[in-house]
Amino acid sequence: MKFCSECAAPIEIRIPEDDIHPRHVCSLCGVIHYQNPKMVVGSIPIWDIAGEAKVLLCRRAIQPRHGYWTLPAGFMENKETTSQAAMRETIEEAGANIALHDLFSILNVAHVHQVHLFYRASLLDMNFAAGVESLEVRLFSEQEIPWDEIAFPTVAHTLRFFFADLKQAQFKLHEQDITQTLTANKS
Ligand SMILES: [Zn+2]
């Protein structure tokens, strides 16, 4: 950000009075343009085939990580709830009709200013299809998941948590901090 969105004057980076963080402050009108983490919200859509859970993954048609596999997820919109965002992203990227269940994972990606949330979900039918941001969508059993081609660590962690909980037949909420060099498991 270089110019104020209120008055178009140049922005300067400084620590405002009574604050401890450097902020984007307008040099003319003094408005502080706060920058806060973005929410990325998605779902873990499951189709149960003869007692075996298969998860719906999307192969990305966009950067970053073009060609890699991901759970349907994306940036939350203003005036939207987290569950609405998860439903919308699942429809947009996978054309999938789902019933949304409990919140399953919260992943802090502090170094890129993001928080990722995933909800468990059930596919209501097999009428899914790749949206404009996906090259293809398909179901994977745990053994079929292309672990080396998963787009983001948040998705890999969420999938591993999911299949571990599935074996215990008990789902709990998982919190994980993703760092650039190592990960710290909190639950
Ligand atoms: Zn201004």
pLDDT tens digits, one per residue of 100-152: 999 999 999 999 999 999 999 999 999 999 999 999 999 999 999 999 999 99
Print the domain residue range for 17: 1-35
Rounding to the nearest 10 degrees, give the CA dihedral for residues 128, 121, 78, 133.
Answer: -30
Q: Tell whether 82 and 14 lie within a shared domain.
A: no
Residue 154 has pLDDT above 80, yes or no: yes
Is-above-0.85 flag for pTM? yes
Cα separation, 158 vs 178, in Å, equals: 12
Q: Tell whether 57 and 86 lie within a shared domain.
A: yes
Measured in angstroms, how far is the CA atom of residue 20 from the centroid of ligand 1?
21
Q: Tell whether 126 and 163 lie within a shared domain.
A: yes
Q: Tell whether 31 and 45 lie within a shared domain.
A: no
Query: Phi and psi (nearest 5°) for 53?
Result: -80, 125
Q: Tell whether 48 and 110 lie within a shared domain.
A: yes
Q: Tell whether 138 and 181 lie within a shared domain.
A: yes
Measured in angstroms, how far is the CA atom of residue 31 from the centroid of ligand 1?
6
What the block records as the tokens of 110 is 């502090």
Pairing of strands 98-109, 114-123: antiparallel
Q: Tell whether 58 and 143 lie within a shared domain.
A: yes
Please state the domain count of the chain.
Answer: 2
Measured in angstroms, how far is the CA atom of residue 36 from the centroid of ligand 1?
19
Measured in angstroms, how far is the CA atom of residue 78 from the centroid of ligand 1?
23
- Asked whether the beta carbons of 121 and 91 are under 8 A apart, the reply is no
Measured in angstroms, how far is the CA atom of residue 121 from the centroid of ligand 1?
44
Q: Tell whether 90 and 105 lie within a shared domain.
A: yes
Peptide bond into 146 cis (omega under 30): no
